């Protein structure tokens, strides 16, 4: 019986040592890993989504929806950022939204596609330029950073003498690999083979 109690007490001590080790490890991970990672995320978000970015994001819904109260001020503000005439953008938006086609569209890309399909991008060119400007704004710098990293991978010491046009083409192919994988490469090769081989006169 005494031996059983001794073994049980030893097991409890080992269990407490294990739990103490686990608690110490959790505390160490919390202080040295999780909190610095959260601080880094918070700093990155604060840097990327600063006051200017948030200001643009709060005004973008006025482009897609016709029922926002301060719509004219938002459109003028965005037009000034895009260096467009704000009064013309507001007037064209009012005329455009009188068409029932645009009452159900809630995205900038859908609005741009519908305008091109109906050829309203010609009649309402200022408002269309504003939409294209907003669609071309980068949310993050990840695409630029990816391009720079691709340059380091593509332009090595062996390939240092290639022209800038060829380097640009190879980098685009490398960055947009998903699009390239979806292309029917045998069809492209067949079309290339059918081209004339002689130099242009």
Whether 67 shows a pLDDT value over 50: the answer reads yes
Dihedral (CA of 152, 155, 156, 157) sign:
negative
* Rounded CA separation 147/76 (Å): 34
Average predicted confidence (pLDDT) for the chain? 77
Instruction: Find the mean pLDDT for residues 134-145.
Output: 71
Residue with structure tokens 């809630």? 106
User: Euclidean distance between the first and final Cα of the chain, in Å?
Assistant: 107
Q: Look at residues 45, 74, 37 and name the one whose alpha carbon lies nearest to residue 139.
A: 45
The tens digit of pLDDT for each residue in 23-64 reads 888 887 877 878 788 887 777 766 666 677 777 777 888 887
Q: What is the pLDDT of residue 48?
A: 65
pTM of the model: 0.51
Query: Regarding predicted confidence, which is higher, 102 or 19?
Result: 102
- Is the predicted pLDDT of residue 12 greater than 50, yes or no? no
Residue 81 and residue 79: Cα distance in Å, rounded? 5
Q: What is the DSSP letter of 100?
A: G
pLDDT at residue 16 greater than cutoff 60: no
pLDDT digits (tens, 9 = 90+) for 152-178: 777 777 767 777 788 888 888 887 788
The set of long-range contacts for 84-91, using a CB threshold of 8 Å and a minimum separation of 24, is: 84/126, 84/129, 84/130, 84/133, 85/126, 88/126, 88/127, 89/126, 89/127, 89/130
- Alpha helix locations (H) across 49-141? 51-59, 61-64, 71-81, 86-96, 108-117, 120-123, 125-135
């Amino acid at each position: 019986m005494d031996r059983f109690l001794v073994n049980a007490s030893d097991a409890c001590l080992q269990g407490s040592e294990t739990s103490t080790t686990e608690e110490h490890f959790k505390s160490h991970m919390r202080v040295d890993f999780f909190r610095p990672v959260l601080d880094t995320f918070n700093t990155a978000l604060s840097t990327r989504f600063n006051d200017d970015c948030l200001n643009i994001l709060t005004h973008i819904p006025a482009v897609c929806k016709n029922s926002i109260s301060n719509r004219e001020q938002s459109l003028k503000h965005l037009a000034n950022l895009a260096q467009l005439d704000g009064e013309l953008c507001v007037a064209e938006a009012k005329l455009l939204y009188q068409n029932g086609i645009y009452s159900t569209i809630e995205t900038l890309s859908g609005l741009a596609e519908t305008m091109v399909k109906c050829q309203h991008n010609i009649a309402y060119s200022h408002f269309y330029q504003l939409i294209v400007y907003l669609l071309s704004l980068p949310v993050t710098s990840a695409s630029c950073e990816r391009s720079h990293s691709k340059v380091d991978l593509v332009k090595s010491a062996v390939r240092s003498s290639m022209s800038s046009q060829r380097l640009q083409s190879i980098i685009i192919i490398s960055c947009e690999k998903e699009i390239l994988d979806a292309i029917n490469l045998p069809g492209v090769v067949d079309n290339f083979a059918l081209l004339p081989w002689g130099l242009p006169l």
